[in-house]
Amino acid sequence: MNKLGLGFLRLPMTGEEGAKVIDMAAAQAIVDRYIEKGGKYFDTAYTYLDGTSEPALREVLVKRYPRESFMLADKIPSWKPTSYEDAWKYVDEMLERCGVEYFDVLMLHWLNAAHYDIVEKYDGFRVLREAKAKGIAREIGFSFHDSAEVLERILSAHPEVDYVLMQINYLDWENAGVQSRLCYETAMRHGKKIIVMEPVKGGTLANVPEEAMELFEKAAPGRTPAEWAVKFVKGLPGVTIMLSGMGAPEQVDQNIAPMEPMTKEELEVIDKVRAIILGKTAIPCTGCRYCVDHTPSCPMNINIPEYFKLYNAIKRYPGDGWKIKPAFNDMTTRYGAPSQCIKCRMCERNCPQQLHITDLLQQVAEEFK
C-alpha cells in the first residue's frame, strides 16, 4: 500500500467566515483522485471539524466505494468519556456516523500526560483491546502530543497497541517542545508501527522563504517545497502511513508519488533550510485550531491561529503592513482582540505544539497596537 494517508481534518471549506461548511464536491474530487492513484488509508476523528468530518467521510467514501477497498482509522476523544461505559457510547456513535461496522484502526485521540490520566481512569485501553477482540477494530493505537518521556511511560504500560500516530516533519525534528525525533525513536524501540501527522506542518513547509527555495531548487530543480517535506518523512524507517490533509486533487498527485529515502546531501540541505525557516518564523503555529475548537475553549473568543498568521506575515514581510494591519483590525470586530486575553491558559493546555500562547498573544497585541 502507498504510504500516503488521506486525513479528514483539513478538508476544503465553503461559506462565509463563522459559518463555513465542508465543500462536499471538492472533498469527493480529492477522495476520487486519491483512490484512483492507489490510495487506501483514510483518517478521521470524532471531534474533527466540529463533528462533521465523520459524516462527510460516510457520504464521499463509505457510500461510494466497497468497504474492503479502503482502510478507515477513527479516534475516540480521550478527554471526553467519564467512564468505561461512556467510552463505548462514543465508539458506537463513531461507527454510526461513519456508516461502517468496523474500523481498520481504532485509536485514542490526542494522548498527553493529562489525557492519559483520564484514559486510565475510564480504562480506555481496555476499550481498545475489547474492540479488537470483537472485530470492531482490526488494529489499535493512539495519537500522541507530548514528550518522549510520556510516550515511554504509555508504551511501557500498554504494549498491546499496534500503532502510534505522532507529529513528524523536518522543522520539528529537533524541536524541544514537539520532540519529533525523540518520540520517533521511542516508538521504534518499542517496535510500534508509526503513522505521521503534519508532515508539511499544516502547509507551513509548502511555502518557504526565498533563500530556502533557492537551496531546494539548486539541489533538485523542479521539486516543490512540499515534496521535500514529504520525502523527508516517507524515507524514515518504521513509518507505515504519512497522513496529509489535502485541499485539491493536484496535491494528491504531488504527495502520493513513491520516493527514495533522502541522501546525505539532501539531509544537509534540509538542515540549512530548517535554520532559515526558524529564523524567519516568529510563531511556529500549524493552524490546527485545537486551541480554539476544543472544549473548554477561549472564553474571550480570540481567534488565536488567525492572529498568529497575521503576526507571522508582518514579521516576514514588514513592507506589507499597509494591508496586513487592516486585516487585523477587521478581525478584532468579529473576535476578541489579543489584548483581551485574561491568561486563563485554556488554549495552552490544548496546543499540540506546546506554545506559550498567552505570552505570544501579548506580543501580537504590542505589534498591532
C-alpha to C-alpha distance for 116 and 144, rounded to whole angstroms? 10
324 and 202 in one domain?
Answer: no
What is the number of domains present in the chain? 2
302 and 275 in one domain?
Answer: no
256 and 308 in one domain?
Answer: no
HSE value, Cβ hemisphere, 13 Å, CA-based, for 2: 23
Sign of CA dihedral 217, 221, 222, 228: negative
Please give the residue range of the domain that contains residue 82.
Answer: 4-280
Asked if residue 149 is part of any domain, the answer here is yes
C-alpha to C-alpha distance for 303 and 349, rounded to whole angstroms? 16
Instruction: Select from 117, 126, 125, 132 the least CA-distant residue to 79.
Output: 117
- pTM value is 0.88
122 and 17 in one domain?
Answer: yes
Residue 45 sits in a domain whose CATH number is 3.20.20.100
C-alpha to C-alpha distance for 96 and 157, rounded to whole angstroms? 31
Question: Which residue type is seen at 222?
Answer: G
Q: Any residues with CB less than 8 A from the CB of 328 and at least 6 apart, and which?
A: 307, 310, 368
pLDDT tens for the chain, residues 1 to 369: 579 999 999 999 999 877 889 999 999 999 999 999 999 999 999 999 999 999 999 999 999 999 999 999 999 999 999 999 999 999 999 999 999 999 999 999 999 999 999 999 999 999 999 999 999 999 999 999 999 999 999 999 999 999 999 999 999 999 888 999 999 999 999 999 999 999 999 888 999 999 999 999 999 999 999 999 999 999 999 999 999 999 999 999 989 988 889 999 999 999 999 999 988 889 999 888 889 987 678 999 999 999 999 998 888 778 878 888 888 998 999 999 999 999 999 999 889 888 999 999 999 999 998
Last residue of a domain, one of 237, 253, 280: 280
120 and 238 in one domain?
Answer: yes
The three state secondary structure string of 69-83 is: HCEEEEEEECCCCCC
169 and 31 in one domain?
Answer: yes
92 and 18 in one domain?
Answer: yes
Last residue of a domain, one of 280, 313, 337: 280
Last residue of a domain, one of 228, 252, 280: 280
173 and 305 in one domain?
Answer: no
329 and 267 in one domain?
Answer: no
Asked if residue 101 is part of any domain, the answer here is yes
Asked if residue 285 is part of any domain, the answer here is no
Question: Parallel, antiparallel, or unpaired for β 13-14 and 21-22?
Answer: antiparallel
294 and 250 in one domain?
Answer: no
